[in-house]
Amino acid sequence: MKALFLQAPSFDGYDGGAGARYQMKREVKSFWFPTWLAQAAAMVPGSKLIDAPPHKLSFKDIEEDVKAHDFIVIHTSTPSFKSDCKTATMIRALNPKAKIGFIGAKVAVEPVESMEACSALDFVCRNEYDFTIKEMAEGADWSTVAGLTYRNEKREIVSNPEREILVDMDKLPSVLPLYKQLDVKQYFGGYLLHPYMSWYTGRGCKSRCTFCLWPQTIGGHKYRFMSIDRVVQDVKYVKENFPEVKEIFFDDDTLTDNHARVEELARALKPLNVVWSCNAKANVPRKTLEVMKDGGLRLLLVGYESGNQQILHNIKKGLLVDVARRFSKDCHELGIVVHGTFILGLPGETRETIQETLQFAKDVNPHTIQVSLAAPYPGTFLYKQAKENGWFASDVDLLTDDGTQIAPLNYPHLGHTEIFESVEDFYKKFYFRPSKIMEIVKEMLTSRDMLVRRLREGVEFFSFLRNREDMIVS
């Protein structure tokens, strides 16, 4: 079978691909590598990978590829599902005999509902779908493929038994050769060097955060990871085949979950002289941070979420505010850059806790921040909690029509409009401080590339704020 793996055309600037944790249009231009989609494509030798949004491809641009393939796999998400269904329908019209299916967290937790909502679909793959895709592409009888929901000859929807979770992660082929089909310079991260490259060295996360999508829908809560030798092999591949890449981002949910393993990895990377970054929980011991820094670590992406201890308990973060403060102090002292992420509108949020989190953010002072709105995706505990408690605002979805994130949760004491508006206030009060402005200006003076980049991002950021002000959320 000729296989096409597609992230479909979507909103302009929409970072909702198979690597994004929050599918939305960002404050500044941002695109994650489509790692989950590329991993599925890597299971099928000779497959084609198209990531339309960062490459600004329209449906017309991909028509010939759609016609030329008979096994077409599209990555979807809750925010993009309706748009992706339209794409599947257009593909069906162009290529009636093609087998068309969806992968992603949305269809992993709502497989039958997704099939019923999109008549153009022949199948969806549930949970970890790598070997499900491989068996299908090799021509297996669909009735024997674990983890598959499909339409049989009578167009009846059938769900096969679940697929066992993958334990030996080294069995997965590298996604990196597939990245040669992408223009790596089209992928940006506001806090990462450009160009960067990201992929996973493991799946699963020990934490039980109620809002977090991937561990609750696909990856699970047991951290399973590739061998150090395998990761080193992949890093060497990047150095040899993508010499323009300035930074590697290991996108494991929490690379620092296993302190011994991340220390071993850092020691193995040190001789390679690569710059790397990763996701981390704000509880990494100083000793481990020292080893990571010595091994080439530049930046940690840290999910602080809130500065209020009760909210952290409410979302089962498993983190103490005082520990997060100590961790942040250690990072500053060791010269590790921190990009901090915060979420407003989580259960227990009040006007006072928003201000408490803002003050906490100022205190720990990450170099850059991202402020998101609580997003209850299907399959998460937060979604179940919101449904049971009637927190969903009746007239609000997760995104606007242009891909901007909006506040879907509405509490008796705190309306979704106020939560939405608090994001802009948070950004302004964090960034528009003399000390933070001076910090960014000094960074801009380090090189012409950084100057040009920060000026571009500044224009994008102010445009983002202006567009939010123009939005009416009632």
**3-159 to CATH, choices 3.90.25, 3.40.50, 1.10.3470, 3.50.4:** 3.40.50
pLDDT, tens digit only, all 474 positions of the chain: 899 999 999 766 555 554 555 545 556 678 899 999 999 999 999 999 999 999 999 999 999 999 999 999 999 988 889 999 999 999 999 999 999 999 999 999 999 999 999 999 999 999 899 999 999 999 999 999 999 999 999 999 999 999 999 999 999 999 999 999 999 999 988 899 999 999 999 999 999 999 998 888 888 889 999 999 999 999 999 999 999 999 999 999 999 999 999 999 999 999 999 999 999 999 999 999 999 999 999 999 999 999 999 999 999 999 999 999 999 999 999 999 999 999 999 999 999 999 999 999 999 999 999 999 998 888 899 999 999 999 987 655 555 555 566 778 989 999 988 998 999 999 999 999 999 999 989 888 888 887 777 777 777 777 766 665 655 444
Cα three-residue angle 101-179-270, rounded to 5 degrees: 130
Fold equal for 3-159 and 189-470 = no
Q: Which CATH superfamily is domain 189-470 in?
A: tm_1862 like domain (3.80.30.20)
Torsions phi, psi for 203 (to 5 deg) = -130, 155
CA-CA distance, 177 to 198, in Å (whole number)?
Answer: 13
Give the domain ranges of the chain: 3-159, 189-470
Nearest in space to 61 (alpha carbons), one of 6, 118, 99: 6
User: What is the DSSP code (8-state) at residue 66?
Assistant: H
Q: Say what the pTM is.
A: 0.91
* Residue 246: partners with Cβ closer than 8 Å, 6 or more residues away: 193, 194, 195, 196, 275
Contact 182, 33 (CB under 8 A): yes
